[in-house]
Structure 1
Amino acid sequence: MRFSLTQCALAGGFILATSVSALAADNLQRARELTANYLLVDTHIDVPYRLHDHWEDVTQATEKGEFDYPRAVAGGLNLPFMSIYTPPSAELDGSAYNLANNLIDQVEAIVARAPDKFGIAATPAEAEQQVAAGKIAMALGMENGAPIAGDLDKLRHFRKRGVSYITLAHGLSNHISDSSYDDIRFWNGLSPFGAELVQAMNRLGVMVDISHLSDAAAAQAIALSTVPVIASHSSMRKFTPDFERNLDDKLTKALAERDGVVLINFGSSFITREANAYFKTYGEAADAYAERYGVDEHASEMEAFEADYRSKQAFPFATVSDVADHIDHVVKIAGIDHVGLGSDFDGVGDSLPVGLKDVSTYPNLVAELLDRRYSEADIEKLLGGNLMRVWEAVVAGATAPVN
């Protein structure tokens, strides 16, 4: 039987598509094996604040959110850093200290309900012990230094409670540092107390986190710290040029030169220019609506406004490939030893990329990296090895007892 050129081309296309599909399936299966076999660390998951607003038992499967025990096991997640997040308003009204303690209580309650599934890890050694015992080790990262309230005794208090990193500021400049989101820059970088705090964190073995900081503040923190620093949930500004919240190449290289690590945020607005622009336009519209009708930003009316806005203007979700592009860029300019994962699950709303919607989906990203010819050793580093190296260095560099 003879075939036309068109038939041959179609047959060839079918064979190629089948081969590509088979390769993708093989990579996904291998990715699942790698995430099951290697330590997987995610440095930023907003479970405590999520439960503060809408409680669910995350020791079981949950209807909402992006983290629960069954999905974490499915994704291979061993060591999530639970974000102890306090909004900028909590510094203004003086509630940050109490809120942070309540959120730590929330994490302790999760462990108390399921001590066979979870533990709290205040050091790398504790994390490794818990993972070896078959548990998910929960570390604590404080997002926003507002609860410190200018008092180094409060820093010591939170270290005793298990806090292992502090993001010095959040959406507004505070008493510690200028924020990348805030047009008002009180300090042109770190405040005098902020500089003192960085040194105290070094002494106590608490990682300094430069996510959310202005460029000047981030550069000062990197230069001032005697141990490596982290960016717990930031991506690359190369892909979002007008978004200071992401790290530019200069800061990324400076962080790497001090042996630090940037942990890639998965939120679509951190990943692509299109999603970032959408969020800016939506934010302006939401602010105008809230001001016009006197509605609080967290009110149910704003949820309805967002749903209506999205129904008229579809959100441009990023993809797994887009996230991998950020990892590629860090590797290109700083090396494989300086990148990891800081998803911001439960913290970026309905903006997560297609294929990375919750903690069960890490293998999809690993499969993409395998397709890009990342080695098994490379993947082991970015899944958790790099962050553990930094955490161990920070703890080893501590010179003051916690007690």
Structure 2
Amino acid sequence: MADLQDEPHSAGIGAEDLPAPAGPGTQASALERAAALLSVHPVADGCNTLVWTLRQSPYHDIETPDAGVDTDIPRLRAGGVGAQFWSLLVPPQGGPGDGAADDRVVSDTLEQIDAALTLMRRYPDSLCLALSADDMADARNRGRIASFLGPVPGRTLTDSLGALRAFHALGVRILAPAGAPWAQETLTAFGHEVVQEANRLAILLDLTGCEPAVAGRLASASKAPVIISNTGAAALNPHPGNATDEVLVALREAKGLAMVTFDTERTGDSLHAVADHLDHVRAVAGPDCVGLGAAFGTEPPGPRPTGLTDPSGYPRLIAELLDRGWPESDLALLTWGNALRVIRDTEFTARRRPSTAAPV
């Protein structure tokens, strides 16, 4: 049945959903081709921070567009988004070793999970909780946006793996080691245990924000693919949040996924600049290891590249890549196929791991 679920079905986007093109006839053709491609291979976006935003504005209705927030259901659908990783990270409070801050990050993360689950319940016709690759494919087939919970911060795990198992039971499928004491200058013994348990539970490791050396060690230690849910190419912009070519090569070797962000500080102030980063990541990591992780969801909306100010801009980006000569097979991997494959491979790894683990 899984193979049948992965067969393409329409996600409901068409050329009529796109803004009128401003360029010549060739650009209109590219937009039409982009719409057709997204109807079969919608976007699996690796990062959206709307959950934290909605906690600050709990009565905001995301079925109605609002200029104060850059993400809502109409714009997700207009952009051809078929799966979304909802970030459960919280703004940093305190520093390493701050016990009170560690307590707050745990409680804040639980609040984030509760808010995300409430979001799924509030909009059941558009969003559905996804726990697996089959759920992701099934949501697309039913015209829903598959919603994965995570990442949660690695700082929530201190001396025990119980929290990781509890998060998994609540539906979390992604963990971000950045900032955790077990993944600082090196990967500690406990860090290796975390990686093994994440592999056993089919929880993706998100290396966003990790130092290059630590990112390489995590990628090597994991038996499952790892991801970077929002990044740019450091070779084009040496922003500390961007992935170096060394990290991109490590991702390629681990069959992982680097998901390019839409952030003016990291990827430039135009759609063309973002496309340049996608070109570079594809060239270094390979077409099987590049994806999209815009990091929308802020209030007020942060600085965004021209043409990519909200999720409805995805078709314009795909049209730009078509004009640059990307084959449609590579674009299908970029938008949907690579994310689906990474989740499936993570589940396959989990099935090969021992079915039980001793409490730690």
The bucket for the TM-score relative to the shorter chain is 0.7 to 0.9
Deviations 1:236-294 (A, max 9, x none): 001113x232111111011101111100011111114xxxxxxxxxxxxxxxxxxxxxx
Cα distance, 1:229 vs structure 2: 0.8
Structure 1 residues 402 and 154, CA gap change in structure 2 (3 angstroms): farther
Structure 1 Cα separation of the partners of residues 170 and 44 of structure 2: 20
Q: Confirm or deny: 8 A CA contact 2:109 2:152 kept in the other structure.
A: no
Q: Confirm or deny: 8 A CA contact 1:156 1:402 kept in the other structure.
A: no
Cα distance, 1:59 vs structure 2: 3.6
Partner of 2:181: 175
Q: Confirm or deny: 8 A CA contact 1:337 1:386 kept in the other structure.
A: yes
Greater helix fraction, Structure 1 or Structure 2: 1
- The one of 202, 208, 220 equivalent to 1:211 is 208
Structure 1 Cα separation of the partners of residues 63 and 165 of structure 2: 30
Identity of aligned residues (%): 30
Deviations 1:107-145 (A, max 9, x none): 211221221221100111112112211111111112421
Deviations 1:318-348 (A, max 9, x none): 1111001111112222221110001111259
Partner of 2:270: 319
Partner of 1:100: 109
Cα distance, 1:149 vs structure 2: 3.4
TM-score (norm. length: structure 2): 0.86
Structure 1 Cα separation of the partners of residues 131 and 61 of structure 2: 23
Superposed CA RMSD: 2.1
Q: How does 1:150-189 map to 2 (within 5 A)?
A: 150-169=159-178, 173-178=179-184, 188-189=185-186
Q: How does 1:155-304 map to 2 (within 5 A)?
A: 155-169=164-178, 173-178=179-184, 188-241=185-238, 243-272=239-268
Partner of 1:340: 291
- The one of 10, 17, 21 equivalent to 2:24 is 21
Structure 1 residues 101 and 135, CA gap change in structure 2 (3 angstroms): same
Q: Secondary structure at the match of 1:232?
A: strand
Partner of 2:305: 353
Larger Rg: 1
Q: Secondary structure at the match of 1:227?
A: coil
Structure 1 Cα separation of the partners of residues 307 and 164 of structure 2: 38
What is the letter of the counterpart of residue 174 of structure 1? A
Cα distance, 1:146 vs structure 2: 1.9
Partner of 2:337: 385
What is the letter of the counterpart of residue 220 of structure 1? R
Structure 1 Cα separation of the partners of residues 111 and 64 of structure 2: 21
Structure 1 residues 19 and 391, CA gap change in structure 2 (3 angstroms): closer
Q: Confirm or deny: 8 A CA contact 1:96 1:147 kept in the other structure.
A: yes
- The answer to whether residue 319 in structure 2 is matched with residue 367 in structure 1 is yes
What is the letter of the counterpart of residue 69 of structure 2? G
- The answer to whether residue 133 in structure 2 is matched with residue 124 in structure 1 is yes
Q: Confirm or deny: 8 A CA contact 1:166 1:207 kept in the other structure.
A: yes
Q: Secondary structure at the match of 2:128?
A: strand
Could you tell which deviates more after superposition, 85-94 or 75-84? 85-94
Q: Secondary structure at the match of 2:25?
A: helix
Q: Confirm or deny: 8 A CA contact 1:267 1:352 kept in the other structure.
A: yes
Structure 1 Cα separation of the partners of residues 285 and 105 of structure 2: 36
Cα distance, 1:151 vs structure 2: 2.1
Gaps of 5+ in 2: 1-20
Cα distance, 1:61 vs structure 2: 2.9
Partner of 2:50: 47
Structure 1 Cα separation of the partners of residues 23 and 272 of structure 2: 16
Deviations 1:32-67 (A, max 9, x none): 222222131001000111111223122433342121
Partner of 1:293: none
What is the letter of the counterpart of residue 199 of structure 1? Q
Q: Confirm or deny: 8 A CA contact 1:204 1:401 kept in the other structure.
A: no
Cα distance, 1:20 vs structure 2: 6.1
Q: Confirm or deny: 8 A CA contact 2:136 2:340 kept in the other structure.
A: no
- The one of 86, 90, 95 equivalent to 1:86 is 90
Q: Confirm or deny: 8 A CA contact 2:44 2:84 kept in the other structure.
A: yes
Structure 2 Cα separation of the partners of residues 234 and 195 of structure 1: 24
Partner of 1:68: 72
Structure 2 Cα separation of the partners of residues 400 and 103 of structure 1: 30
Partner of 1:146: 155
Partner of 1:135: 144
Structure 1 residues 225 and 20, CA gap change in structure 2 (3 angstroms): same
Structure 2 Cα separation of the partners of residues 245 and 138 of structure 1: 25
- The answer to whether residue 30 in structure 2 is matched with residue 33 in structure 1 is no
Q: Confirm or deny: 8 A CA contact 2:151 2:206 kept in the other structure.
A: no
Gaps of 5+ in 1: 1-17, 179-187, 273-317
- The answer to whether residue 282 in structure 2 is matched with residue 331 in structure 1 is yes
Structure 1 Cα separation of the partners of residues 53 and 105 of structure 2: 16
Structure 2 Cα separation of the partners of residues 59 and 104 of structure 1: 21
